[in-house]
Structure 1
Amino acid sequence: MENNKMLSWIFKGFSLLIIDVVTIKIVFSIWAILNISVFPMAICFIFLSLIILNIVIALSSRIIETYGMSLFITTLSSSVIYYLFSMVFTGIVYITITSKWYFIVMMLVTLFFFLLNVGYLNIRNNNKEKEYMTDIKLLMIHTNKSLEQNKDIIEENEYNNLKNSIERTFERINSSTPFGRISEINTIKKENEIIYNIEEVNSLLTDSSNVKDFNSIKKMFDNIYNMVYEREKLIIK
């Protein structure tokens, strides 16, 4: 596993080194003096696109882990297009364009690039949030239904305690920051852990066996409640 990570970093580093060296050689070639008024802005926009491309490729594993493959592909594709446009457009119009119009065009392209990625991230986060909250609502309905099905085989005191624990946990979830809204990796892991544990409790409640330790199930829900609290602390940090 460590060898694979090392090879991945070596490959990324070598690829980026080639891109960076080629870009620098082109930017600082003889053509730079043909329109010296545009040159400073050309350097800024080309190097901005190059830096963004370097960051996206270098942090690809982290981006995929945190935001998913689809967002990484979108970000990488738009970064490559932005970089290529900066290089090709500058090369084609460099001699003839004025600094004013070069700045206007590149600013519009840069603005479009950032708006595109921010917009896609917002759409993705909204969809993820809806998906998480829908799953939680379904789990809540299923849990309450499973509890009712066990009402005849559970003592009234145990039933009330378990019911209160379940209601308290879901109330805490509903009153906290919606699941899926925060993209920080530790928060995502905690949310997945919470959902997994609720599903585990559901599987115990729906078990066809009449021999069930309802006190243990209640303790599991109390633990889930504490996990929700831990998630909230992660968000505050």
Structure 2
Amino acid sequence: MGGEHMRGFYGRVLHVDLTEKSWRVEELPAEVTAHYLGGKGLGTHLMLEHIPPGADPLGPENCLIFAVGPLTGTIMPGSNRIGAFAKSPLTDFYGESYAGGSVGAALKQTGYDAVVIRGRAEKPTLLEISDRGVTFHDAADLWGKDTYTAEDMALARVGVKGAQAAVIGPAGENLVKYACIENNYWRSLGRVGMGAVMGAKKLKAVVFHGGAQCEPADPAGLKEIVAKLAQKAKDNPG
């Protein structure tokens, strides 16, 4: 790799502490983005690095990690998915969940490959993450709202065109161990209780927006592959 990150990665992870209302940026070693390819690989690496052994899944020491892959936000079909990673309150073990929609591309536009959220807020919080920084918004009026209403209210509060939100509803707030995180109304990070982890942190919503771009190493080659895939799909009756 010659000390360079794989194209499609920024090599940057955002760390947010809800207890301290603070944030910092971690510059990843190039070896990490080379070895742990994609949202799942990077998310798993960050879990092992930042969630201590024996952590309570609903405790402040558990981390909720959002991660995307090197093709997220590009023209590649099916590359829009986002992954959420944490110690699962349902299984007390490794937890991963994935969703489609537009929130993955919005995370990529913040200029980070992943976001690690730790701690627990004192009161219901809306977290706004962009390429300009992090803002902690009071979300007391969103607490108790269903996910459709919460998403609308979160995006209205941030007020940025093109922003995307990941939210929880009453199930996550009440720590139901299989609660989901929702985005784009009906897209669900639906496995192993990621919504309960978010609720335990008093985190009602996370809104992503920005203008960062991560160019592929070979834009022309990517266009050629996408065109071939499109033609293959068009000509295949299956």
Q: TM-score, normalised by structure 2?
A: 0.25
RCO higher in structure (CA 8 A, sep ≥6): 2
Q: TM-score, normalised by structure 1?
A: 0.25
Please tell me whether Structure 1 or Structure 2 has the larger radius of gyration of its CA atoms: 1
Higher strand proportion: 2
